[in-house]
Amino acid sequence: MSASPTKAKAGAEKISVVVSAKVPVNDLVTRFEFKRQDGGPFPTFSGGAHTVVEMNDAGRTRLNPYSLMSDPEDTETYAISVRRDDEGRGGSLFMHNFVNVGDQMNITYPVNLFNLDLRARKHLFLAGGIGITPFVAMSKQLDRIGGNWELHYGVRSAALGSYAEELSTKNPNKVHVYEDDKGEAIALEALLNGQPLGTHVYVCGPKGMIDWVRQTAKQAGWPDDNVHFEEFAAPQPGEPFEVRLCKSDRTITVGEHESLLEALEREGVDAPYLCRGGACGQCETDVIRHDGAFVHRDHWLEDEVKASGKKIMPCVSRFVGASLEIDR
């Protein structure tokens, strides 16, 4: 697979890799390992970093972010785990069905929007499902520097608990797994109230879990600075809409199943991005004029800014209405 010709210069710099392993972890999750095509070392990263994987899906470029789960100090291999989402936009299905050992791909340099606060006296990790992946890398990073961590991991069932067994065998005193099908759940309030001073909590999982943890931590009097979460929004389909691009001086249509960012890229317009999930702020774009309503899905813009109609995050947000003109 090669870079699509319309691919803009935006985003973090790319690394050409070859798929060195494709390992089924369970019915839903597959691990992909990459080596560099040029045989050189990968950059080290920090736990919590993600890479954006470029997929050439029958001429359509898909760019999906995945957390790196390999040892951050391992410069030979990068690993990601992909959960198959049958209802999703197709990126994960493409990875599962069409990417195989030996394939050549492009991935971006690691970008970290979910890093450890190393001033913490203790790191409390709360994972739900595939949200386990950043913590695999973080725990390896902390083990190397003697950091104090503890993991509470909610899984649907033992069979679907990616890496649960491996992690608990290696760290029997640090890892607590909760199996949903057995009615087990994290006793969150008690867990939070019992943490020593200087603890930071990190949560990665479904949106409902993130909201639950943030809300419970707030009620328990945890300062915001001590609560970290990774919330990638996947772009959602919606009614197609037209956008006038004032710098490029043309009008394009955003299709039902693509994001505004993807439409810009398809048209060869250089649009910046890093996370493609409404979290990093990189794609922020000025709205010149509009007649209609925004569907803001990012976690970046302040509510007042969203209400002002002056900005849009093209990676996840959409528009419904008569006309939209943006500064691209």
Partner 1 sequence: MSKFQFPESIMSRPVYGTLEPRLGHAHLFVADAEGAEAILDLAKKDPGLMSSAHIIFIPRATGETYVEQLKALRPAQFYSGPSYEAALPRLRRVFSDASMGLQVYLSGTEGLMGQAQSEAMQAGIAPAAIQTEHRGSVARRMQCVHCKGITEDVMTDPFVCSHCGLNLFVRDHYSRRLAAYQGVCIDAEDPGNVPDPVELYS
In which element (H, E) is residue 116 found? none
Q: Residue 93: phi, psi to the nearest 5?
A: -65, -40
Contact 226, 201 (CB under 8 A): yes
Name the one residue in this structure whose structure tokens are 């736990």: 47
The 295-314 site mask, x for binding ligand FES (CB under 6 A), equals: ---x-x------------x-
State in angstroms the smallest separation of the CB of 114 from partner 1: 19
Could you give the CA distance from residue 321 to residue 328 in angstroms, rounded to a whole number? 19
CA distance 238 to 259: 9
Give me the 155-194 binding string for ligand FES, x by CB under 6 A, dash otherwise.
----------------------------------------
Identify whether the C-beta of residue 29 lies closer than 8 Å to the C-beta of residue 84: yes
Interacting partner of 225 out of ligand FES, partner 1, none (Cβ under 5 to 8 A depending on kind): partner 1
Toward partner 1, which CB reaches closer, 39 or 146? 146
In the complex with ligand FES, the residue whose CB is nearer, 124 or 275, is 275
Region for 307 from its dihedrals, namely left if φ exceeds 0, alpha if ψ lies in -120 to 50, beta otherwise: alpha
220 binds, among partner 1, ligand FES, none (CB under 5 to 8 A by kind): partner 1
Q: Which is nearer to ligand FES, 202 or 300 (CB)?
A: 300
Rounded to a whole number of angstroms, the minimum distance from the CB of residue 274 to ligand FES is 5
CA 35 centroid distance within chain: 21
Other Cβ atoms less than 10 A from the Cβ of 84: the count is 15
Positions in 264-283 near ligand FES (CB under 6 A) = 273-276, 278-283
Judged by CB, which is closer to ligand FES: 46, or 77? 46
Residue number, 141 or 285, with CB nearest to ligand FES: 285
Which residue ranges make up the site for partner 1 (CB under 8 A)? 121, 192-199, 218-226
Our CA angle for 321, 307, 111, nearest 5°, is: 95
Q: How far apart are CA 207 and CA 312, in angstroms?
A: 21
Residue 323 interacts with which of partner 1, ligand FES, none, CB < 5 to 8 Å by class: none
Site of interaction with ligand FES (CB under 6 A): 273-276, 278-283, 298, 300, 313, 315
